[in-house]
Structure 1
Amino acid sequence: MEEVPVAEKRLSDYRAIIGSAAFSEILALASKLKGKRVAHVNATAYGGGVAELLNSLVALQRDVGLDAHWFVLAGSNAFFNATKAMHNALQGSETPLSADMLAAYRHFNEVNASTFTDEYDYVMIHDPQPAPLVNLCERHGTWLWRCHIDLTSPNPSVVKILEPHLRAYDAAVFSAAEYAPRAVPFRRIYVNPPAIDPVSPKNRHVYEEERDSILSRFDVDFKQPVISQVGRFDPWKDPLGVIDAYRLVKKKVPGVQLLLVASMARDDPEGWLWFERSARHAGEDPDIHLLTDLRGVGALEVNVLQRETDVSLAKSLREGFGLIVSESLWKRVPVVGGNVGGIRMQI
């Protein structure tokens, strides 16, 4: 297990956005927790919404007086293949985990537990990848499981695997009340939808010289209509369906272009498979652009591309929340999204 370094942030930078009343309320609540030690544990430090959230959350917790830390799991390809299969099953895939997958899942959680010492007042475990730690570590503080996934129709076999661990947590936190699986007798349930960071590089104001410099690097005609989807190459984001939708639009709007923008996360070995499938599905169409962080598309680039988009898509088949919806709306870009989970909550 490795600790993730986090850049400083100041809550005062958000005061003009959230208002003085909310600013004061946060400080009052934080004063009751001043000096408390908090550990967050998840699967990856980059790629995907959880890493984005923690980059901001940990820094802001520190700024208001908490001693917050962020750790990521060590793991092999076999481990991340297993956790990706588990993630898919929790969102409704009928494919069960193999014996080898379960063995890798147990082994690497045991390895990570051996390197983690609970010297914290609160330990927040994010998603199913590190869920067994609650039964593998000697606990001293309050342990909470934060689930960022849409669990409205999970594969029962995988819920059964996780149930002995999930019931051991002092509380569970979900983005929506309906995500809490009834098969698990949680001690306490909280509902707390996430939020975007409006002053992060991905959402902050963009200066004209920054915009012009970034746009010049892409072979996209921004004078013509642009549709974009920002999100992992993942079956639940439905990139093939996005391409099909774009082709329907192109019959009536011949000049339209499609941007599929993603980061290739360490904990998602399936990402390259879906990138390749998307590329094959796109074929030789010069108006379909597949853009990733490995080709220089970082947070600021995503910010600029979202602002130059005419319509933002969030065509997920399952979605715990989907930060791209609020990101696009924050930038005054209309969103067409799948009628599921967190997308429905925002639109």
Structure 2
Amino acid sequence: MVQIVEPRHPVSLADYESVADLSATVRSLRQEAESRLAGFDGRRLVMVNSTAQGGGVAEMLPPLLTILRELGVDAHWLVIETQEQAFFRLTKNLHNLIHGAGDPNLGAPDHAVYDRVSAENAAAMEDFLQPGDVLVVHDPQPMGAGALLREKMDIAAIWRCHIGLDRETAETRAAWGFLDPYLKPYDHAVFTAPEYIPGVLAGRATIIHPAIDPLSHKNRHLQVHDLVGILANSALVKPWGPVMSPAYSEPARRLQADGDWAPATEPEDFGLLFRPIVTQISRWDRLKGFFPLMEGFVSLKHGIEARTDLDEHHLRALQLARLVLAGPDPASVDDDPEGKEVLSELCAAYSCLPPHLQADIAIVSLPMSSKENNALIVNALQCCSDIVVQNSIQEGFGLTVTEPMWKRAAVMGSSAVGIKQQIRPDLDGLLIKHPGDPGEIADGLDALLSDEAKRAALGRSARQRVHDNFLVFAQVKSWLELLTNTTAACWPNCD
């Protein structure tokens, strides 16, 4: 019932060290590992989550585990599996409840399906684990299995929560009340922000920020030929001549006016390389704020002709601006059954727009059959965007903010806690207070589209902010400290 995943990541520490602005950071990381890992010798680290692709956790684990291995940690990755779709519907609801949304009416049938799937996966994981292992469980899906194993085996267990809300509501109380019995066996927990830590975990939780890999396909620097080639190969732009590499087997697909899907260059090239482009790339999730973002963009377009405050450049920018709403093919993300429903609702809203506004908005489904191609497509889309938006109603952290910040994009985010941890207002990007307010969204887009120099300044500061705080090396350092402290606490008499 569990899948063993090999964390394939082709980049070595030497590769990072060869990059001028990363070399000092890598040397510091090596020194940290050498001083800490003596107490971890002979133990294994086993990380568990619920999907091998799609979402931030699945993207973070390969570089994290690969670097830990190179530093000397015997690290492994397991993915839980089940055929019970009711389990993933439940855990998606728990995810939403922790964010303050969803149905708080959880009862005996919910516990029954959670306990049943947890027991099945715990039995399968037990065959892989051995005494002395440190088990790190990511998010609510595998939490129950990890709790059962901690009670049964001589292992240490850490729960890593990537989500949260900075206030208590009926929804959050329902979620933490449901999860409380499964939390108690864990030795420690890890959160993204102190505001997210529930009372049951007070005093036994650590803050570790998620991070990006600067040399991954999604975040590496793209030369002009690479950028244009990726857009052409994925059918996001029409090539003007021969392209060196072959077209991807599965193109990006764009919603058409008649409701069908076609390559994203249909019915015409969208203008990614020439027009001012506003982009949001996220999973299809109601909490990502796709609907008010589209409404805000429509409001911005509606108001152009009546305005008398626009100089020629500003007017031209507003007239030519286009919006890209992109996310993964929802059929490819196993643990998110809500994705298809949200995308369908977004498509229905798009179909109600007049043709001239439909022409200025592209809803794009990104192929997931190749992780590498998908990452390169996201990279290229972010690089050719003048503004990258993350309009989340709630956001645990938001690597979709970190990524464009690293690429020096002008980023407009909501004031969700995870995003506020990254963007310092008017220094690294723009924050809006009410992500559900189309008028405020329109004003934010207008301010950024009017001022090219401001966008450039925000991008420069954002890049430095990520370099100093949100690259994978900082995350690895934090995990090294937590792993050695946890093993010392669980086995105090071991040398």
Please state how far the C-alpha of 1:207 moved relative to its aligned partner. 2.8
From the superposition, tell whether residues 324 and 63 of structure 1 become closer, same or farther in structure 2 (CA, over 3 Å): same
Range that drifts further, 29-38 or 278-287: 29-38
- Report matched runs for 1:218-237 at 5 Å: 218=236, 219=265, 220-222=270-272, 223-237=274-288
From the superposition, tell whether residues 224 and 185 of structure 1 become closer, same or farther in structure 2 (CA, over 3 Å): closer
CA contact 2:401–2:419 (8 Å) conserved in 1: yes
Does 1:163 pair with 2:180? yes
- Report matched runs for 1:261-272 at 5 Å: 261-263=326-328, 264=330, 265-272=333-340
**Partner secondary structure for residue 116 of structure 1:** helix
How far apart, in 1, do the equivalents of 2:78 and 2:197 lie?
25
CA contact 2:391–2:414 (8 Å) conserved in 1: yes
Please state how far the C-alpha of 1:326 moved relative to its aligned partner. 1.2
- Report matched runs for 1:58-207 at 5 Å: 58-75=65-82, 76-93=84-101, 95-96=103-104, 97-117=106-126, 118-119=129-130, 121-137=133-149, 138-153=152-167, 155-182=172-199, 184-186=200-202, 188-207=204-223
- Higher normalized helix content (fraction of residues): 2
CA RMSD of aligned residues (A): 1.9
**Partner secondary structure for residue 346 of structure 1:** coil
- Where structure 2 has 5 or more consecutive residues not aligned to the other structure, the ranges are 237-264, 305-317, 424-495
CA contact 1:171–1:186 (8 Å) conserved in 2: no
Q: TM-score, normalised by structure 1?
A: 0.94
Please state how far the C-alpha of 1:35 moved relative to its aligned partner. 4.5
Query: How many residues matched?
Result: 346
Residue in 1 aligned with 2:246?
Answer: none
How far apart, in 1, do the equivalents of 2:159 and 2:416 lie?
23
Please state how far the C-alpha of 1:98 moved relative to its aligned partner. 5.0
Range that drifts further, 114-123 or 318-327: 114-123
Does 1:25 pair with 2:7? no
Residue in 1 aligned with 2:324?
Answer: 259
From the superposition, tell whether residues 213 and 18 of structure 1 become closer, same or farther in structure 2 (CA, over 3 Å): closer
After superposition, the C-alpha distances for 1:230-277 in whole angstroms (9 at most, x for unaligned) are: 111101101111111221332341322111121232100000101111
How far apart, in 1, do the equivalents of 2:343 and 2:383 lie?
24
Of the three residues 34, 38, 44, the one matched with 2:51 is 44
1:168 is aligned with what amino acid?
P
Please state how far the C-alpha of 1:215 moved relative to its aligned partner. 2.1
Q: Select the structure of larger CA radius of gyration.
A: 2
Of the three residues 367, 390, 402, the one matched with 1:314 is 390
- Report matched runs for 1:233-244 at 5 Å: 233-244=284-295
How far apart, in 1, do the equivalents of 2:153 and 2:202 lie?
18
How far apart, in 2, do the equivalents of 1:38 and 1:18 lie?
26
From the superposition, tell whether residues 139 and 289 of structure 1 become closer, same or farther in structure 2 (CA, over 3 Å): farther
1:306 is aligned with what amino acid?
Q
**Partner secondary structure for residue 141 of structure 2:** coil
After superposition, the C-alpha distances for 1:91-123 in whole angstroms (9 at most, x for unaligned) are: 112512354333222211111011012325210
How far apart, in 2, do the equivalents of 1:246 and 1:102 lie?
42
Residue in 1 aligned with 2:342?
Answer: 274
How far apart, in 1, do the equivalents of 2:194 and 2:65 lie?
24
